[in-house]
Structure 1
């Protein structure tokens, strides 16, 4: 029996750096201000701004709250971040 070895190289994506732009993209689609999203998510508007600019590294709980405030599931937000990281947006 002969087995073929296929090497697949995973391209590292910096999803963490793309979470902020993903939040901004969804927020702008909904035409929400940072303050409105903060109110919906139960977070301060300055925190939303810091997340969008990559100055804060949000926890999963905060990301879930932001996704809820955007009216989307967390996996949609992460998928958007993956697309942005891969340069496909």
Structure 2
């Protein structure tokens, strides 16, 4: 996959971990499947704009924060 897809997955993982959520918890908050969250975090799938929106809302961040060219480092 492309670097942007890997960076997106890394951002999702870091923000999920900052919430102290499991993949299952994030999936519930976002209305997605847990295994799909895992695939996103590993950079194995390209998320649709709808999925990006669902994840951003669940993580309470702007969509742009998930789409940074470099992975986010988490809070602090």
**Please, which of 32, 38, 44 is the counterpart of residue 27 of structure 2?**
38
| Gap regions ≥5 residues in structure 2 | none
Pair 1:83 & 2:59 matched: no
Higher relative contact order (CA 8 A, sep 6+): 2
Secondary structure of the 2:57 match is: helix
Query: Offset at 1:14?
Result: 2.7
TM-score (norm 2): 0.84
Pair 1:16 & 2:5 matched: yes
- When the two chains are superposed, the root-mean-square deviation of aligned CA atoms in Å is 1.8
**Please, which of 14, 36, 50 is the counterpart of residue 25 of structure 1?**
14
| Gap regions ≥5 residues in structure 1 | 1-12
The runs of at least 4 aligned residues of structure 1 exceeding 4 Å deviation read none
**Please, which of 47, 55, 61 is the counterpart of residue 66 of structure 1?**
55
Match of 2:40 in 1: 51
